[in-house]
Structure 1
Amino acid sequence: MTERIYYVPDANGVERLPTVLSMFHAAPPVMRAPHWHAQVEVNYIVRGWVHYKMSGHEVRFSEGDMALFWGGLPHQLDDAADDVVYAGGHLPLVHFFRLRLPQDVQSKLMQGATLITQATDASDTLNFARWNDYARSGDPMKAGMAVDELLLRIERVRFDAYSLLPGRADIANAVEGLDHHSSPIVVRICDFIADNFREDIDSSDIAAAANVHPKYAMNVFKKTTGMTLNDYVNLMRLSYAQALLMQEEANVLQVAMDSGFGSLSAFNKSFRKIAGTSPSDFRRDVRTRPGAPVTVRTPNRRRIN
């Protein structure tokens, strides 16, 4: 019988690195609990299948499927084939909002939809393996090429058949997509927040960095992502805090302060809102949840700044 491998957020994992594009090609570990991270995730199933519990729906990706979903909503890979291999990456929003996808796709993904396409072929299997190798090569030119080619491959989704799950009727009220005026502003906003989310920042600071009026910054960000600026700043902090909580001697109060929350009460309230549990209970549960013999392993990933 194959030993079950479980995943918990790592102290230096994707949850803590919202500005980093990481790539992977591995057998995915099953998650003991839902996690979240401030990147859009792309999965390509090389072999076998995986099953996810997403926010509000469940989905199974099978061999040859390529999928995108917003990692900022709690999600859990809760089952997989014994021989599964998947590949892909985690895209910081500064990359995601530069993608030339159909107008409604970005906003609907941010609202919780999952994009899935079966319009793949043998070249995708070869390409995902090569991109991972290039990303891990230590050669900056190869690493940059891997990122560029991955982004172009994702953009090619617009020319093929794809589905948004749950059905389009279920996400019909999602906000409208980007236009050519808002995209650069959202990118500047995301850049600034990614660099400063642990500091005491507000909408005026963010708007000044994007060179727009605070009210306009709030409106365009809400229209594009479905989140307020404050929601997004909190998400970045919570993603970071989630990883810190996995450290053996993590102190909840210190995690709250190190993640940018001004008080323990604010941290507890925000954490409970996204996780449905307190930080202390999350830390305990994710480390002690019963199951098969546990080997904790982070997937084979390469991070690219």
Structure 2
Amino acid sequence: MDVVELTLPTRAIYQPGASSVEGLPTALQMFHNRPPIMLKPHWHAQVEVNFVVEGSVHYIMGDHDLTLNAGELCLFWGGQPHQLDDTSDDVLYAGAHLPLVHFFRLRLPTDIAGRLMKGAVLVTSATDEADRVNFARWYSWARHGSTAQAQHAVDELLLRIERVRFEPYRIVGECENGRESEASDQQSSRAVARICDFIAANFMQDIDSMDIAAAADLHPKYAMSVFKKSTGMTMNEYLTLLRLSYAQAHLLRDGASVLQVAMESGFGSLSAFNKAFRKIAGKSPSDFRREGRVFSAITPTSVEIRAD
């Protein structure tokens, strides 16, 4: 009797890495792939753009679920812990991770930024065949094209996102006070973009709100006020989120101690790092790393989603 050996298909599992969205919190990254599922929530300091080319994906977004089907495009704030926990077998999706410095330069409806920062998701079905073609081309140019092609891809992507304001869209998963978000005018958005520029370039350094305001050429009280109104976060909270995103990815690096990661990520002490990490992840950095290594050991496939 012949014995037939069967090879069972495996699902790719997502793990943060040094070159992933978490490890590069200030980079604009594009993706176009069959998404790996997440065994636990993650977070990052960019606004996420998802376009479902084929199939469907299911997200756990804080306290609500979201299913996106082929032809739907969404925007959400990645600083809210979220988990892509299921997909259809034929799924293909595309999109990008936008640092806040890019997001606050977009010409979107004035209330959108505040509502997304409070956990809402913008979803639109107003897409077409051109989106299928363009998202694939933008990813190809960003990953394999010249510098000029990569920049052109980014510019086209940002214009495509801005087109949302001319078409039907819906806001889902909005918290009770989400509609109370104050609209950001152009002057406020420019101020927030300058603040984000400086924080992105210096988040691993010993900086505070006074340094940030001075670098953005703003009065400290105005800088703190306009950033809070526009993002729902204080400048220090955003600074901490960038550091935590970076640390989340580097905790799984071989040979790096928790203390080393804390210092490299810009935290002044191990206790401050542990406190901040536990607040967003619900567990200590050591436990997070231990669980991550267990997942790596039991899953055969790990995928990073990024474009160089």
Partner secondary structure for residue 36 of structure 1: coil
Give the 5 Å matches for 1:45-194.
45-167=52-174, 171-173=178-180, 175-194=181-200
Q: Please list the CA deviations of residues 21-43 of structure 1 after superposition, one character each: whole Å capped at 9, or x if unmatched.
A: 11111000011211111110100
Residue 258 of structure 1 aligns with which residue? Answer: 264
Residue 246 of structure 2 aligns with which residue? Answer: 240
CA distance in 1, matches of 2:204, 2:38: 27
How far 1:138 moved relative to its partner? 3.1
Asked if 2 retains the 8 angstrom alpha-carbon contact of 1:38 and 1:92, the reply is yes
Structure 2 residue 43 is matched with structure 1 residue 36: yes
Q: Which amino acid aligns with 1:256?
A: A
Asked if 2 retains the 8 angstrom alpha-carbon contact of 1:2 and 1:82, the reply is no
Which deviates more from structure 2 when the two are superposed, residues 219-228 or residues 127-136? Answer: 127-136
Give the 5 Å matches for 1:200-219.
200-219=206-225
Consecutive unaligned residues in structure 1, runs of 5 or more: none
Residue 302 of structure 1 aligns with which residue? Answer: 307
Q: Please list the CA deviations of residues 243-278 of structure 1 after superposition, one character each: whole Å capped at 9, or x if unmatched.
A: 110112221011111101111111010001111111
Q: Please list the CA deviations of residues 80-113 of structure 1 after superposition, one character each: whole Å capped at 9, or x if unmatched.
A: 1112110000001111000000011011111111
Asked if 1 retains the 8 angstrom alpha-carbon contact of 2:115 and 2:174, the reply is no
Asked if 1 retains the 8 angstrom alpha-carbon contact of 2:12 and 2:301, the reply is yes
Structure-2 change in CA distance of 1:269 and 1:167 (3 Å): closer
How far 1:287 moved relative to its partner? 2.6
Partner secondary structure for residue 238 of structure 2: helix
Asked if 2 retains the 8 angstrom alpha-carbon contact of 1:268 and 1:279, the reply is yes
Runs (4+) off by over 6 Å? none
- State the Cα RMSD in Å: 1.6
Asked if 2 retains the 8 angstrom alpha-carbon contact of 1:116 and 1:164, the reply is yes
Larger radius of gyration: 2
Asked if 2 retains the 8 angstrom alpha-carbon contact of 1:33 and 1:286, the reply is no
Aligned length: 301
- TM-score after normalising by structure 2: 0.94
